[in-house]
Structure formats: structure tokens, C-alpha cells
Chain A
Amino acid sequence: MEPESLEPVGDFADFERELQAALARRPAPPDLKRKIVGRLWQQAGRSHRRMVWMERLAASLILAAVASGAAFWHHEVEKRRGEEAKQQVFTALRIANHALEQMNAQLAEHNRDAQ
């Protein structure tokens, strides 16, 4: 007996069977599949956009790191060159100082001899 045509019947002696008929699966809404696939595409689109942003961010970070490294390296080279130049100046000054001291001593000795 179909539930739709259920006329007043017994006393629910066949309750389980009637329940089974009443609880038959319902058809899903006709646009359910379209909505699921639509959401799937939306998620895929979001995921793609997120991926593009992640790639851009990674590229920016790499660029920033390379630029910072180059700037640091350049700074270090300049610093080292500056140190070397400073040492050369000090060496030149020490030599000049030594020469002047020698010259001064010779002059002093010459003055003593002249007196």
C-alpha cells in the first residue's frame, strides 16, 4: 500500500512498513548540484588568488632580502676600504713623524756643534 493513497487502515499494526514508506528518500533540490559545483569553483578561485598573492609576497621578500644583502655587503666593503685607508694614513703619519724626529735630532746635534 502506498503512503500517498493511505486510506484509514488498520491500527498501525503495519506501522513499521508505513514508516518506511513515509520516510522514503526525498529528491534533493534541483539546483543543489549546481550550487555545490559553484561553491567549488568559488573556493578554487579564492585558492588561486591566495596562491598568486603568496607568490607575490614571496617574490617581494626575496627581493628585499637580496637588496638588504647587497646593501650590507656594499657597506662592509666600504668600511673595510675605509679601515685600510685609515691604516695607510696612520702608517704614513708614523713614518713622517719618525722622519721629523730624526731631522729634529740632527738639527739639535748640528746646533750643539755650532755653539
Chain B
Amino acid sequence: MAGDWQPDFEQLIDEHQSMVFSIALRMTGDRGLAEEIAQDVFLELDRHLSKIESPLHALLWLRRVAMSRSADALRRRRARGIEQWVEIDETHGAKAEERPSPLADRVERLLATVPESQRVALILRYQEDLTPEEIAATLGAPLATVKSHLQRGLKLLRAKAAIHLKEYVRGA
């Protein structure tokens, strides 16, 4: 019963920290900033805990706020003139088991070069495994716009991968 559900803050951190951190990391491309955003998102969750009605509500709320705070952080960084992925060793500070595979790392770096609106759609589609309808609901955007962002983003990423990830392509 959703009405009987009592949110357990620490349990919500355990369950969703990976999602929130991954969204922030792939949106910003900066591990330190992503960790900071993840902390802020959970602190904000703590302030809104009384309004969270169910585990699904918590998941959707965290996903939406993680996206929103990451976009805010990117805007602030752009305003300060800092480009994404510049002088950032993304794996710096990460333990060996946390480091992505070389391919995943390079795909992430390519993803960071895709326009933000398309990147958001791609992250929600391929990291969070959402349907275009669910992405539209999460972002509060028209379905047609989301589909367009997905198609363009995928096409762009594919074209970039064909150039930059040749070694993974037979015969390249």
C-alpha cells in the first residue's frame, strides 16, 4: 500500500546512489562534480522526504532532480567558461573496480560531445532503459521532441563512433 510506505532515507541512498551518480557523471563528465551533485540531490530528497509517497515516486523524483541539477551544474560551468571533459581524468580517484572498460570510457567521452538535449535523451534511454514515452514524461517534453532528440543523438553518436572507435570495428 503506497499510503503505508515509510521512506527510509539511508535505504533510498543505498538503492539509488548508483543511478543518481551515473546520471550526473554522464551529464557533466566530471567525477568530482557528479559526486557533489549526487550529494546535493540526496540532501534535497531528505528535505522533501515527507512528500515522497512510494518507492516508485522516490525513483522518479531522484531521476528527475538528478537530471535537473546536472543541467544546472553544466549551465553554471558554461557561464564560468569551463568546457566539458577538459583536463579531466574521469577515472581519477576511482578505484580499479569502479573504472569503466576502455570502450565504455570512450563511448562516455563521445557522449559528452553530443548536444545536451540529445545527451539527456540518450542517457535516459540507454542508461535508464526508459521508453521514449517515459522519457517525455520525465522531462515534461513532447514525445515527438524526445524521439527527434533520440534519433539525432544516436545518429551523431554512431557517426562519431565510426570515426573514433575504429579499432572496435572489423576491418578498420
Contacts and interface: CB of A to CB of B under 8 A. Distances in A.
B11 to A, nearest CB: 10
Interface stretch (A6-14, A50-58, A77-85, A101-109): A6-14
**A interface SS class:** helix
Q: Secondary structure at chain B's binding surface: helix, strand, loop or mixed? A: helix
A37 B10 contact: yes
Contacts of A27: 18, 21, 97-98
Interface residues of B, number: 45
Contacts of A26: 18, 21-22, 25, 98, 100
19 contacts: A8-B167, A10-B169, A10-B170, A18-B103, A19-B126, A19-B157, A20-B126, A21-B104, A22-B104, A22-B108, A23-B127, A24-B127, A25-B127, A28-B18, A28-B20, A32-B17, A33-B10, A35-B39, A36-B13
Interface of B: 10, 13-14, 17-22, 25-26, 35, 38-39, 42-43, 46, 93-95, 97-98, 100-101, 103-104, 107-108, 111, 122-123, 126-127, 129, 154, 157-158, 161-162, 167-172
Nearest to A2: B101
Contacts of A12: 158, 161-162, 169
